[in-house]
Amino acid sequence: MPEINPEEFALPYFTEIGFNRRKCLSCGSNYWAASEQTTCGEVPCAPYSFIGTPPTKRPYSLAEMRIQFMDYFAERGHTRIKPYPIVARWRNDVYLVGASIYDFQPYVTEGSMPPPANPLVISQPCIRFTDIEQVGAAGRHMSIFEMGGAHAFNYPNKEIYWKDDTVRYHHKLLSDVIGVPSESITYKEHFWSGGGNAGPDLEGIVAGLEISTLVFMQYKVQGEELIPLPIRTVDTGYGMERWAWLSQGSPSGFHAVYGPLLTQVVEMAKVDLDESTLASLTRSAGIYGASSRDSRDAYVEATAREIGLDKEAFRSIVQTLEAAYAITDHTKSISFLLAEGVVPSNVGEGYLTRLIIRRAARLARQLGILPELPAIIEGQIKLWGGEFHLLREMRGEILEGLRIEVEKYEETISKGSEVVLRLSRELSSQGIRKIPTEQLVLLYDSQGLAPEIVRESAEKVGVDVDVPENFLTLVAERHSKPTSSLEASSSNPEWEEKLKDLPATRALYYDDAYQASFQAKMLAKVAENAIVLDQTCFYPEGGGQPADHGELRSGDRKLKVTNVQKFGNIIVHFLDQPIDQEIDLVEGEIDWQRRVNLMRHHTGTHALIGAARRVLGEHVWQAGAQKEVESSRLDVTHYREISAKERERIERLVNQVILRDLPVQVAWMAREKAEAKYGYRLYQGGAVPGSKIRVVRIQGWDAEACGGTHCKRTGELGVFKIEKVSKLQDGVERIIFSAGEPALKRLNQQSEALAKASELLKTTPDKLPESIKAIVAERDSLEKEIGKVHAKAMETHVKQLEKRAISLGTVRLVLAKTAKRRGIDAVEVANRLKESDPNIIVVIFE
């Protein structure tokens, strides 16, 4: 952590309220406080002193605290902003929102687009899988929480407010409104980094509990470097759950947030501890921490000693209690993730959702309450659905997604032991007596096998399993971010260097996708067979759409365009032959039939995703797409395999959209306006960079951010045909389809095949199923008859061989030539003879 300058937080407001800078005698951190305290005031340097005796004017529920927070900042010039989704589909560097500032990174914080308001206030639901094993322990760690964010974006030419006012707002809300005495508040110096940005911060602490983080974001994190940003951002994180807990003085943070729902889960788990014991446990956990088994053992032992209970018996009770806490927390996370359409899978946010569902299921299974998970989810929907309406709207899909994933988890457990036994025997045969951590991670990733299940099976064959204490955290960290960002995957430093002095290419295909020919000036030869023009109709490969092909002409010379690529804002045309002389003016013409097919297939993709969502459910999102000339594919998220009936309904819906001849409208929109109008379903194809995005909208059907070429109306698709549906991977279905002439070609091929089959069977196409059914029945009948004949022949053959057996003492010998030519299996003959007399030796030869 960078060292913080002593003057960094020497603020006028601290002087005004009599706060001085001190060093904690326990942890060594610098902090600001009014009292003569000798520590920073945060556990473990100081105990929780608010439990049972809250320092506030009155208790607040989470909902009440949210309202108070939002109202306070709204009254002070901050515009209220609705919370963003938890799944960060507008970003390409993270899967889930982990802080309120994630909503505005990187576009706002780095200056590529304006904020929705300045200053603004938001209460943003967040999910973090950091230290997930600690969720449930210590009474305060949660995977899902609301971060109250009061944000101000300071530009070089426009200052909103900075450190002094940020601390003033925080302190007055806490002391004047909530009622915490000023002398009970501490501000601890720290340096924060997250979401690609960083800056010094102050942590607000009351009575042992950190409740806020006031970050002054002024750097971009680039590798090990901190690059100053032109925009300085006030990034405050008010932990709404912790503020509510502070005001209630509850035995744990879970009691403050979940109330009666937690009581219900604890009763299911058959935990019976009074509030005094629960409070003692949380206080001890604050002092000893929950980051390791040793620290957890320490706070359990300390509490058991304090209340006079047997340590081992109390440990068992605490483990059950912590599991109940974790299940209560996890089911809220699960509800929010499934409500936003995440399908549990082995990739991306689907992987993280699967991880938390399976941890909740494993804990519930240990407590014997696995069948109660749906009821707990129902409780979460009821508790939070008033504020977050999507939970109620998606109730059916949430419960269905949970049911299917729990079924898969149970199936994994039943099949997993054999996988582990096989691996354990292989390791044992190599002299390896312990399953490595990497292998544990692989088993979890590929098979969904939790380490506890692995240990149970491995120990049967004498192989040890040493599970890291932070195993799930390690796994979650590996899957918490995409492996590469959109910008990284599309950048090409070598080409960008070649093209750096050239002006942007005018993209005529955006002016008019139906323009097939054009004139242009050649600006540069950038490779032996590659040139740059000042403008072009050729669409470069991108967004799952292949490049246009065609021809460039200069005088009598004709050059075929075989590939087109875009680097930054410059389009490069790759030719079928080297350019050996400079060309001034060229005439270009694209392969129009190829362009039309691709336009139809791209438009068809948009129509198809809308149809799939209407048939399969709102959880459907695009998981990949590739447009081709003859057929295209769309990968969609879905819990199970698409049935024949669902396939038929999807196809019918798309063809109805074609018949309705809906307009396909294309518009460049400011990102914030597009998101406000169409929501985050815009990002079906992933995150799109820039302050302006190109929105393609099929009126009343679908709207997406998309850079491809499209038809003007859906009627131009002509006809749409799904050719094949298959399972790409768990949670992702692949639909292969065609539209326009390729679809007609396939329909004609199918029609011809039906006609030929009808001719062979001497029937008509409409009666073909009946004829095939009759043939199948006849075949089955013949197979039965053949089976009877075979059995009779076998019986006769065995009897004949048995009669020819030669007695040799206590055994009899049968010598026989193979009977394969007679349709009788030699092995079966030998087995029959052995069944008739165990003392027979059978020798069969060719």
Range ranked top by mean pLDDT from 404-418, 467-481, 548-562: 548-562
Given the structure tokens 């003085």, which residue do they identify? 249
Does residue 641 share a domain with residue 545? no
d(CA 754, CA 39): 85
Range ranked top by mean pLDDT from 252-256, 271-275, 772-776: 252-256
Asked if residue 265 is part of any domain, the answer here is no
Mean pLDDT of 731-748: 94
Given the structure tokens 């299996």, which residue do they identify? 825
Does residue 585 share a domain with residue 604? no
φ/ψ region of 693 (left if φ > 0, alpha if ψ in -120 to 50, else beta) reads beta
pLDDT of residue 318: 93
Does residue 474 share a domain with residue 337? yes
Quick one: pLDDT band at residue 256, thresholds 50, 70, 90?
very high
Asked if residue 29 is part of any domain, the answer here is no
| Cα-to-chain-centroid distance, residue 135 | 20
Quick one: pLDDT band at residue 662, thresholds 50, 70, 90?
very high
Quick one: pLDDT band at residue 475, thresholds 50, 70, 90?
confident
Mean confidence (pLDDT) of the chain:
91
Does residue 312 share a domain with residue 236? no
| Cα-to-chain-centroid distance, residue 642 | 21
pLDDT tens for each residue of 376-417: 999 999 999 999 999 999 999 999 999 999 999 888 887 777
pLDDT of residue 759: 84
Asked if residue 438 is part of any domain, the answer here is yes
Of 774 and 611, the structure prediction assigns the larger pLDDT to 611
pLDDT of residue 486: 40
pLDDT of residue 491: 62
Range ranked top by mean pLDDT from 276-285, 426-435, 585-594, 807-816: 585-594
Given the structure tokens 């470097």, which residue do they identify? 225
Quick one: pLDDT band at residue 487, thresholds 50, 70, 90?
very low
SS3 content of the chain, % helix, strand, coil (to 5): 45, 25, 30
Does residue 445 share a domain with residue 329? yes
Identify whether the C-beta of residue 564 lies closer than 8 Å to the C-beta of residue 530.
no
pLDDT tens for each residue of 32-41: 999 889 999 9
Identify whether the C-beta of residue 584 lies closer than 8 Å to the C-beta of residue 522.
yes
pLDDT tens for each residue of 782-814: 888 888 888 888 778 778 877 777 888 777 888
Mean pLDDT of 295-302: 88
3-state DSSP assignment of residue 240 = helix
Q: What pTM was estimated for this model as a whole?
A: 0.87
Does residue 615 share a domain with residue 660? yes
φ/ψ region of 42 (left if φ > 0, alpha if ψ in -120 to 50, else beta) reads beta
pLDDT of residue 425: 79
618: which DSSP letter?
T
Given the structure tokens 């219900």, which residue do they identify? 264
pLDDT of residue 362: 92
Share of the chain above pLDDT 70, in %: 98
CATH number of the domain at 150, please.
Answer: 3.30.930.10
Helix (H) or strand (E) holding 189: strand 185-194
Asked if residue 267 is part of any domain, the answer here is no
Query: Quick one: CA dihedral 514, 516, 518, 523, positive or negative?
Result: positive
d(CA 85, CA 290): 30
pLDDT of residue 398: 98
**Poorest-pLDDT segment among 276-280, 462-466, 660-664:** 462-466
Does residue 564 share a domain with residue 518? yes
Contacts of 616 (CB under 8 A, 6+ apart): 636, 638, 642, 646, 650
Assess whether pLDDT exceeds 50 at residue 485. no
Assess whether pLDDT exceeds 60 at residue 525. yes
d(CA 817, CA 88): 73
Does residue 510 share a domain with residue 469? no
Mean pLDDT of 328-334: 98
**Poorest-pLDDT segment among 275-279, 370-374, 561-565:** 275-279
Assess whether pLDDT exceeds 70 at residue 552. yes
3-state DSSP assignment of residue 572 = strand
Helix (H) or strand (E) holding 775: helix 768-803
Quick one: pLDDT band at residue 824, thresholds 50, 70, 90?
low
821: which DSSP letter?
G
- What 782-791 contacts at long range (C-beta under 8 Å, 24+ apart), as own/partner pairs, is 790/823, 790/824
pLDDT of residue 577: 92
d(CA 354, CA 331): 12
- For β-strands 517-527 and 585-590, DSSP reports them as antiparallel
pLDDT of residue 483: 62
Least Cα distance to 482 among 346, 637, 348 occurs for: 348
Does residue 333 share a domain with residue 429? yes
Rounded to the nearest 10°, the torsion over CA 391, 353, 703, 729 is -140
Q: Which of 250, 277, 308 is where one domain is finished?
A: 250
pLDDT tens for each residue of 415-459: 777 777 777 778 777 878 788 888 888 888 777 777 877 887 777
Domain count for the chain: 5
Asked if residue 645 is part of any domain, the answer here is yes
Assess whether pLDDT exceeds 60 at residue 769. yes
pLDDT of residue 819: 52
3-state DSSP assignment of residue 681 = helix
Does residue 612 share a domain with residue 463? no
Asked if residue 266 is part of any domain, the answer here is no
d(CA 256, CA 263): 11
d(CA 261, CA 264): 5
Mean pLDDT of 514-537: 95
Identify whether the C-beta of residue 705 lies closer than 8 Å to the C-beta of residue 679.
no
Contacts of 666 (CB under 8 A, 6+ apart): 694, 695, 696, 697, 710
Identify whether the C-beta of residue 354 lies closer than 8 Å to the C-beta of residue 361.
no
d(CA 350, CA 88): 13
Q: Which of 552, 570, 590 is where one domain is finished?
A: 590
Quick one: pLDDT band at residue 820, thresholds 50, 70, 90?
low
pLDDT of residue 498: 86
DSSP of 661-711: T-BEEEEEEEHHHHHHHHGGGGGTT----SSEEEEEEETTTEEEE--S---
Contacts of 673 (CB under 8 A, 6+ apart): none
Mean pLDDT of 604-609: 98
Token pair listed for 267 = 């009763």
Distances (CA, A) of 800 to 793, 803, 815, 835: 11, 5, 12, 15
Assess whether pLDDT exceeds 70 at residue 652. yes
Does residue 244 share a domain with residue 389? no
Least Cα distance to 808 among 844, 839, 843 occurs for: 839
Assess whether pLDDT exceeds 50 at residue 285. yes
pLDDT of residue 488: 38
3-state DSSP assignment of residue 23 = strand
Quick one: pLDDT band at residue 137, thresholds 50, 70, 90?
confident
d(CA 66, CA 147): 9
Identify whether the C-beta of residue 136 lies closer than 8 Å to the C-beta of residue 95.
no
Assess whether pLDDT exceeds 70 at residue 278. yes
Asked if residue 797 is part of any domain, the answer here is yes
Asked if residue 436 is part of any domain, the answer here is yes
Q: What is the domain range of residue 535?
A: 488-590
Q: Which of 744, 765, 796 is where one domain is finished?
A: 744
pLDDT of residue 400: 96
Mean pLDDT of 4-27: 95
CATH number of the domain at 572, please.
Answer: 2.40.30.130
Of 311 and 507, the structure prediction assigns the larger pLDDT to 507
Distances (CA, A) of 79 to 221, 319, 388, 506, 531: 29, 44, 20, 39, 50
d(CA 147, CA 97): 10
CATH number of the domain at 713, please.
Answer: 3.30.980.10
d(CA 249, CA 252): 8
Assess whether pLDDT exceeds 80 at residue 474. no
Does residue 800 share a domain with residue 717? no
Token pair listed for 11 = 């603020």
Assess whether pLDDT exceeds 50 at residue 258. yes
Given the structure tokens 């039906």, which residue do they identify? 754
3-state DSSP assignment of residue 26 = coil
